[in-house]
Structures are given as structure tokens and as C-alpha cells.
Amino acid sequence: MDKDSLRREALARRDMIPAAERAAAAETVAARPFPLPVREGDVVSGFAPMRSEINPFPLMRRLAEAGARLALPVVQKRGLPLLLRAFSFGDELARGQWGIREPLPSAPEVFPDVMLVPLAAFDRAGHRIGYGAGYYDMTIARIRAMKSVTAVGIAFSAQEIARVPATERDERLDLVLTEKEVIDLRSR
């Protein structure tokens, strides 16, 4: 099956999860011990959830309380990696591409140590299907070319599929956090 078909099926499964279950899943992920050491001042980038995506904000809030500095992505334009700009809860946010909330242009660009990554589908080999524009693959590759960064998918267990048809442009995830488990993909 091709990525577009797999994406549609996974998103349909995700959309069927009731809102209350989605909210409970986000809280479950946030309440669990984070599987990586996050030191005071480490930068963790998240994302503003859209549609039926799992909400990373409860986890981001917990990491910020532990001393992490936060960031959110900004879409520059198609074909370019995302800019990751500093973010704190309470900051004024702009409406960016597709109405997604993002930091204002005055927020400084940062380079994360940990990236929380949205996805449509994932497999146990560390591959993900996004929304098709390659923004996260380009961004992860850009940051990995500069420094060590851990890519952590955050999703519902219903988004897992047997195999993602990966290409050479696809960046692997190091971990996936779902409401049911922490999937460590670093040794695969």
C-alpha cells in the first residue's frame, strides 16, 4: 500500500478516537516518566496540535516545569525546513500556515535537543508518515547535521502500522510515545 493510502487510513482511525479519549491519552503520555534525561536549559520543540492530533502541550508543560526551554515550529514555505522558535506558555502566538499557532517572528530561532514530532502513522522500525510535505524530515535532517537531536514521535497507539514504505529522505524516529507504551527505536 502506498503512503497516501496508509496516511488516509491512519488519519481515519485517529479521527474516530473520541475527544475525551484523546485528551486522556495526552495526559497519560505526560504523566509517565520521560524516557530521556532533559537537563536544565535543554531545548524541547513541540508542535501546536491540529485536528485530531494528540496534544503535546501537557508533556511540554511538564518538561518546562523540569527546566526545559520550549520551541514551536514555524512554516517558512513549501520545500524548506521548519524554523523552530522559542516558546513559553503564555506567549502571544500568531496564526501561521493552515491556521496553526506559531511563535511571533520576534521569537528567536533555537536548535532543539529533543524534538516532539507529530505523525499520521508510524512503524516499529522508526519510520513515520507525516502529512506529505516533508517538513519534519527536512527539519530533523537539518538539526542532525548541526548537533545531536532525539526525534520523539508522539501519537495514539491506533496510528501504528506494520510497515511504513520509507525512502532515503525519511528521517527515523528515536522513540515513539503513545498512551499505551514508550517504544524505544534507538537500537533498531
Instruction: Express each pLDDT in 49-83 by its tens digit.
Output: 999 999 999 999 999 999 999 999 999 988 999 99
Domains present along the chain, CATH in parentheses: 3-184 (3.40.50.10420)
Percent of the chain scoring above 70 in pLDDT = 99
Model confidence, pTM = 0.95
pLDDT digits (tens, 9 = 90+) for 125-175: 999 999 888 999 999 999 999 999 999 999 999 999 999 998 888 999 999
- Share of the chain residues as helix, strand and coil, in percent rounded to the nearest 5: 30, 20, 50
pLDDT of residue 93: 92
Contact present, 142 and 154 (Cβ < 8 Å): no
| DSSP E strands, the chain | 43-45, 69-74, 83-87, 93-95, 101-103, 114-117, 121-122, 128-129, 150-154, 175-177, 182-184
